Amino acid sequence: MKVFVASLATETNTFSPVPTDRANFIAAFYAPPGHHPATPTLCSAVFPALRERARDEGFELVEGTATWAEPGGLVQRQTYEALRDEILDQLRAAAPVDAVVLGLHGAMVAQGYDDCEGDLAARVREIVGPDVIVGATFDPHSHLTPKRVENLNILNAFLEFPHTDFVERAEQVVDLTLRAVRQQIRPVISVFDCRMIDVLPTSQQPMRGFVDSLSAMEGRGSVLSVSLIHGFLAGDVPELGARLVVVTDNDPAVGDRLAREKGMELFAMRGSTRMTQHDIPDALQLARACATAGAAKPVVLADTWDNPGGGVAGDGTLILRAMLDAGMDDVGVATIWDPIAVTFCLAAGDGATIRLRFGGKSDPGAGDPIDASVTVLKAVDEAWESFGASRVPLGPSAVIRIVGTCTDVILNTNRTQTFDPDIFSGLGIDISQKKYLVVKSTNHFYAAFRPVASEIFYVDAGTHYPSDARRTDYVKVKRPLWPIVDDPHAASA
């Protein structure tokens, strides 16, 4: 048996002013054939999973390129085509193969390509023919298109949000692919369009129970895998929206029935799943009350929509500015994206006190720059944070303390959201000495920060991320979706 594996991934916010080119892929993660690290990344965990199976079972594994760009705006057409063709050429050189496994995100949009993953899957199918098993794993914040389903034999998506299960889901798609090659199963994909778009965190009810019920279905009867595609609010593409996916062992009638039943169960929960969001004044009042009451751990404020994980710049200053104006101190901020400010800090060196303008450079919706005298506590050529078993690069980074305060801000060069408290500790910030932490993340921070936080408040700072589908100017979405339409299933009947 010979298996080919590759990964090409990013999440595209089609409303973002931050374009994505090859340099963004190289800066975030790029591993040519044979150079994928032993540790997984969010969208390439299929590599270590396949290596382990190949080592144990003795089949031949051919590794193609694996690459990921931090979420941003439209991918440059030439960049997508070059990376796609790089992988396709590697597949042609490896042919014939018995299986192809792809680590994808599912929300990549390039100039001229609304469905990059569907385009890639179709071209893979052209090369390998109709009889080769092709499997893929996706991030749930993606767009599931008929073109992908038509050209894949097996697909799944992470079930958890935050995505704490990305390794397990990679292992599942690898296992199903190998079983299909050995003719132990005949996978069939069933999909139900839920006709809705919402935020669906599994860190709280009702989504916690719903996802647990999906997991419980797997392995029962003919059901091989169950996935929920959440959709991605910031992607203006025709296939925007949530979908329920059931993969069965040659049992499409059961798959179709279960996909519809669970899809309509999700639809019945519409509007009840989001985390409670606070505006900035309310969030600061709640945070200050916790700190004043003597909280032993810091209060975490999550800047949910100035989140680079959603494709925006991540250089917003609205929450920090409000905290400074309110006299709130002992704050740790992770992060404000500002390559220019980082360059100045590196030049000044550790311990230097300088005048610095930082943040607020990419878009007026995220706030004005902050001008302050700051002390450079630490400036490094490279910094990292963890996301589960993976390492996420921050690029050249600096920690600055605003003079006259104990407020420390991490400035970074590679845009990324905040996943883990080690983003602070790795740069010398002791969060146990902070009253407040501000993190740029919608929910991926939750699993790692919950144990170290006294309280967590989600803040809708009013930035330009398209967080409300009713107010978002979608151009390419033509079919009815809740909440744009109250009853889209009746409207489409």
Model confidence pLDDT, tens digit, residues 52-95: 999 999 999 999 999 999 999 999 999 999 999 999 999 999 99
User: Residue 465: what pLDDT?
Assistant: 87
CB of 465 within 8 A of CB of 310? yes
Average pLDDT over residues 440-460: 97
Query: Parallel, antiparallel, or unpaired for β 408-412 and 277-278?
Result: unpaired
Q: Which residues, other chains included, contact 362 with Cβ-Cβ below 8 Å and sequence gap of 6+?
A: 17, 18, 313, 315, 337
User: Residue 287: what pLDDT?
Assistant: 98
Count of residues in the chain: 493
Cα separation of 123 and 315, whole Å? 38
Number of Cβ within 10 Å of residue 373's Cβ equals 13
User: Residue 462: what pLDDT?
Assistant: 81
| Strand-by-strand arrangement of the 299-303 sheet | 277-278, 455-459, 299-303, 436-439, 331-337, 408-412, 397-402, 370-380, 353-358
User: Residue 252: what pLDDT?
Assistant: 98
Domains, the chain, ranges and CATH? 2-194+249-254 (3.40.50.2300), 280-459 (no CATH)
Q: Which residues, other chains included, contact 133 with Cβ-Cβ below 8 Å and sequence gap of 6+?
A: 98, 99, 100, 153, 154, 177, 180, 181
Percentage of the chain exceeding pLDDT 90: 96
pLDDT surpasses 90 at 109: yes
Q: What is the dihedral of CA 213, 216, 222, 226, to 10 degrees?
A: 60
Model confidence pLDDT, tens digit, residues 394-412: 999 999 999 999 999 999 9
Q: Is 305 helix (H, G, I), strand (E, B) or coil?
A: coil
User: Residue 363: what pLDDT?
Assistant: 80
Residue at 242: amino acid letter: A
Average pLDDT over residues 155-159: 98
Model confidence pLDDT, tens digit, residues 360-388: 998 888 899 999 999 999 999 999 999 99
Closest residue by Cα to residue 233 from 275, 192, 197, 270? 197
pLDDT surpasses 90 at 100: yes
Q: What is the DSSP code string of 84-143?
A: HHHHHHHHHHH-S-SEEEEEE-SB--BTTBS-HHHHHHHHHHHHH-TTSEEEEEE-SSS-
pLDDT band at residue 493 under the 50/70/90 scheme: low
Closest residue by Cα to residue 170 from 204, 138, 208? 138
Residue 142 CA, chain-centre distance (Å), reads 9
pLDDT surpasses 80 at 15: yes
- Please give the mean pLDDT across all residues of the chain: 97
Average pLDDT over residues 442-464: 94
User: Residue 471: what pLDDT?
Assistant: 92
pLDDT surpasses 90 at 464: no
Residue where the block lists tokens 């958890």: 160
